[in-house]
A and B are shown apart, each in its own frame.
Chain A
């Protein structure tokens, strides 16, 4: 039994157990399972790509990308530009995703260079870089010359903190080939897009460059000896990670139906980091399968525990509290497994 737990990893084991317990309790308490499953599947597609952004950065040795918020901000910039150009539906979505690419390349290269300059303390520096970029863009959301009535405050300056995507690209992925199994809704397009992204990242990790990046992340000396340019690999990995963050927030927003600006992205990196760690990744090792398992377990526990906990403990926001404890507890657990800087 101990060997089994060790094999699949403590966080993964705990969260699977928790999910099973919650689902069984949900059935006993009489919560409609169909509704919970619909919610769960949608959230997996929503959060999946942001979690996927953790894979390249971990593999390259820069640790979980705590600065994925940079990518998120760029994605929001691309999405707001699409709306500014009065694009709607699929066109808007595709435009946003394409526009995020050059932005992510430029910013990702700069960010990668920063990380190369300060090896050994990447995680803390990434966190604060991410925080400060979000705050900097808060100024951007006020002074950028957007004119669209959907986004601007009717009076005053700047964009609204939250605005709906009802008339633009809400659910373009979710509604693509959507069908029902019993009373469980399957957002086919959303899932397809997520799995496509997973497949692309997986193919990249299997490619020559992807292997070289992993080699650089695993063992510096060996990689140098075999002629791998580690610094370049770290930059490329962080460009990809930033871009995945950007695409991730666009997918998230179309599914959520709203775009949230200003300080909304501030804390978004932490649940993503927690999810990939739950899936079995460590701060120095990650695979695409960890993302899929992790996002299902983490979002599964979050979505299903909410109605269950509110049924059992009717006061206070128990679900939110348990999210905080689980999410940050998992990250702390992973940090204790990092081989210290000596």
Chain B
């Protein structure tokens, strides 16, 4: 008897390990990289924060197609192009500030819907090969995008002489600055600068929200009886403690410079780095947008449409038999993903501040897909948690690998090649593992 439970325990540990092998490797890489690179905490923290707020939206745009069984939508590049076209229109007409950027999002929407529709139709014609089709459609659309922006603009459609048009009046420049738009504020940081809060104040607020939420769930426990995913009491007590720790941690850091007793013995350079940490600001509005998209992803799964996505993802055949219009629903999933990617690219670029007209979009699909896979998603299963964990791990490795490469081999370039290898490798390995498991599953069933 004891042997059986032991055996089961062993097996479950093994299955947890094999299921999360990619994530575990990345946790290891992150820890090793941070230890090797010796980067200052301030730099790490502020870079991480920037990259998380910058990229999360794009990564979350991948979830709906995965649920609908389309797989990893490498075609979000097309959505990113729609976002960039909208930004170019916004810059051309001199729209600025928050209003300008929101207007750009509005302009991006119909373009992205159109692109998403075409991509969806293509995916319906290449069922079973959506991922490679998504990759190639990105290259294909890039050709059309370049034709539009290099030749049609100025060559066929007459345009005013604005700074982003090339000197000869035909086509757009390679890089377009979003920050100075006719001497006005421009579009850079238009979302980020709406409302900012000190990182540690933000942590305290988050801690407080967690505590209040857990306490409510604990105290009014009886009223939530009908909720299906009721968690145990212990979970909420742990949440409360974690919230308290978060507040305590933030408080200690904030009071460090003002002579807290905890830091009486530490030297001045440590205090100085703590002081620098205190200057980190959190762009609340951008986080709010990410929060909205996360809520959207959860809410949509509760609707009829979301249930359709799920049943198509499980089996197209059964979904069709039960009266779901499979092709139409798949197109809707791709359109949603494309529109979200367009907005995601706008959020990304307003933070970066300069648009590489012919390059900014090309890596979007690759990085987003790699990130969500690192977070533990598979071709068939992804959620918001995978996305966020993936972004944290992926960008941590991204930030530290050049410095780690320099420390290890005396060459930053090696670290950069290594991270590119890892990005491609992660996608290859995750897809191969998934296909291998699928095939093994089929064999187990059949024989």
> Residues of A with Cβ closer than 8 Å to B?
66, 114, 117-121, 123-125, 127-129, 131-132, 135-136, 138-139, 142-143, 157, 270, 313, 315-318, 321-325, 327-329, 331-332, 335-336, 338, 340-342
Contacts and interface: CB of A to CB of B under 8 A. Distances in A.
B143 A321 contact: yes
A316 B150 contact: yes
How big is chain B's contact interface, by range? 35 or more
A340 B129 contact: yes
Given A132-B421, A321-B143, A325-B140, A123 B171 contact: no
Contacts of B431: 118, 121, 124-125, 128
Interface string B91-130: 0000000000000000000000000000000100111110
A125 B151 contact: no
7 smallest CB-CB distances across A and B, nearest first, come from: A341-B128, A118-B435, A324-B143, A128-B428, A328-B140, A135-B421, A132-B424
A157 B409 CA distance: 11
A336 B122 contact: yes
Contact of A135 (B125, B139, B146, B417): B417
Interface in B122-150: 122, 125-129, 131-133, 135-137, 139-140, 142-144, 146-147, 150
A331 B136 contact: yes
Interface in B392-428: 409, 411, 413-414, 417-418, 420-421, 424-425, 427-428
Contact of B139 (A131, A136, A328, A340): A328
Contacts of A139: 414, 417-418, 421
B160 to A, nearest CB: 18
A123 B128 CA distance: 11
Contacts, number: 143
A336 to B, nearest CB: 4
Contact of A142 (B144, B414, B421): B414
Given A125-B428, A138-B421, A316-B151, A143 B409 contact: yes
B170 interface: yes
A66 B428 CA distance: 12
Interface in B152-188: 155, 168, 170-171
A335 B135 contact: no
Contact of A128 (B137, B427, B434): B427
A174 B414 CA distance: 36
Contacts of A327: 139
Contacts of B122: 332, 336
Given A332-B137, A341-B128, A120 B438 contact: yes
B436 interface: yes
Contacts of B438: 120
Contact of B424 (A131, A324, A329, A341): A131
Contacts of B171: 315-316
Given A332-B136, A332-B140, A114 B432 contact: yes
A313 B425 contact: no
A120 B420 contact: no
B316 interface: yes
B10 interface: no
B127 A332 contact: no
A122 B413 CA distance: 31
B328 interface: no
Nearest to B428: A128
A248 B414 CA distance: 28
Contact of A125 (B133, B411, B432): B432
Contacts of A121: 131, 431-432, 434-435
Contacts of A338: 126, 128-129
B439 interface: yes
Given A118-B436, A120-B438, A120-B439, A129 B132 contact: no
B424 A135 contact: yes
Contacts of B411: 142, 157
Contacts of A317: 146, 150
B151 A318 contact: yes
Most chain B beta-carbon contacts within 10 A, residue among A119, A121, A157 = A121
B421 A324 contact: no
Contact of A335 (B133, B155, B435): B133
Contacts of A114: 432
B22 to A, nearest CB: 13
Contact of A132 (B125, B143, B425): B425
B133 A332 contact: yes
Contacts of B137: 328, 332
A316 B126 contact: no
Given A128-B428, A316-B170, A135 B143 contact: no
B421 A342 contact: no
Given A117-B435, A135-B421, A328-B137, 19 more contacts: A118-B434, A118-B436, A124-B129, A124-B131, A125-B428, A135-B417, A136-B421, A316-B150, A316-B151, A316-B155, A324-B140, A325-B143, A328-B136, A328-B139, A328-B143, A329-B140, A340-B129, A341-B127, A342-B128
A329 B420 CA distance: 27
B436 A117 contact: yes
Nearest to A120: B435
A341 to B, nearest CB: 3
A316 B438 CA distance: 47
Contacts of B136: 270, 328, 331-332, 335
A124 B413 CA distance: 28
Contacts of B417: 135-136, 138-139, 142
Contacts of B435: 117-121, 125
A335 B432 contact: no
Nearest to B316: A342
A129 B431 CA distance: 10
A278 B126 CA distance: 18
A313 B154 CA distance: 13
B138 to A, nearest CB: 9
Contact of A123 (B132, B316, B436): B132
Contact of A270 (B139, B142, B413, B421): B139
A163 to B, nearest CB: 18
Contact of B126 (A142, A270, A340, A342): A340
